[in-house]
Amino acid sequence: MNVAERLTKGRILWLTHIGALISLAWLAFDYFAGNLSVNPIQDITLRTGKPALVLLLLSLACTPLNIVLGWRNIIAARKWLGLYAFGYAAIHFLIFIGVDYAFNWGFILVDVGTKLYVIVGFAALLILVPLAATSTKGWMRRLGKWWKKLHQFVYIAGVLAVFHYIWVVKSDYREPALWGVLLGLFLLVRIPAVRKRIARWRAKPRGPSKPKAKRPDTASEWRSDSSDPPNTIGIQ
């Protein structure tokens, strides 16, 4: 049994829920156990912001993994990874305005207007809000073709989130740069010309084999995007 066969939808969803909640459970444990540093607010802010970025990029990785490796069942995790990313981002923002700034809107507006990392981070969150709100089948039916166009904004949110992380760290850019490279690769795979080349590569026979009955052209199933909606935090 290969990896694709082992990764059933049920197993993927269980791994998604458990993996997404581990960071939050660990943070809660450290908070109540007194394991945070002398600056607990900064700890909590960073430990909710980074999971938001990682989960968002993992949601963007689902479609490339399906295209390159044929892991079609992993698409089932895309919605939930995006929703968990939004949840962490919302907690991250609430800590920023509620704990760090005590809802002092004067100071908050000054930061939003003058600090670039705050601007791009807030913009990424604003993009995720309508995507999370329209992540149901009902909204998919209501919006029709506009649902797909709306959820393509998740790519912009991913780019903004990476830049937010880069400008937050201010010194060691190696890890943020790595996430940026991965995001670039995920977006590259979605380019139609690249996608078709990958499809042709996957359709090539791997070594000598006995003649078999004619099968549907594997590459043809990738020529239409109708069976594989955009990477989204909405339903598949």
pLDDT tens digits along 27-75:
999 999 989 888 888 899 999 999 999 999 999 999 999 889 888 899 9
Tell me which residue of 61, 59, 64 sits closest to 78, measured CA to CA. 59
CB 209 within 8 A of CB 132: no
Asked whether the whole model's pTM tops 0.85, one would answer no
Looking at the domain assignment, is residue 235 inside a domain?
Answer: no
pLDDT in tens, 106-142: 888 877 777 888 889 999 999 999 999 999 889 999 9
Share of the chain above pLDDT 90, in %: 49
Length of the chain, in residues: 236
Looking at the domain assignment, is residue 141 inside a domain?
Answer: yes
Total domains in the chain come to 1
Radius of gyration of the chain (CA): 20
Looking at the domain assignment, is residue 156 inside a domain?
Answer: yes
Looking at the domain assignment, is residue 211 inside a domain?
Answer: no
The CA distances from residue 148 to 59, 73, 143, 152, 233, in Å, are 16, 20, 8, 6, 11
Please name the residues in contact with 107: beta carbons below 8 A apart, sequence gap of 6 or more. Answer: 101
Looking at the domain assignment, is residue 210 inside a domain?
Answer: no
Other C-beta atoms closer than 10 Å to the C-beta of 214 total 6
Question: Which domain range does residue 81 map to?
Answer: 3-202+217-222
Task: Please state the rounded mean pLDDT for residues 11-22.
Answer: 94
Looking at the domain assignment, is residue 234 inside a domain?
Answer: no
Looking at the domain assignment, is residue 232 inside a domain?
Answer: no
Looking at the domain assignment, is residue 212 inside a domain?
Answer: no
CB 7 within 8 A of CB 73: yes
| Residue 160 to residue 121: CA distance in whole angstroms | 7
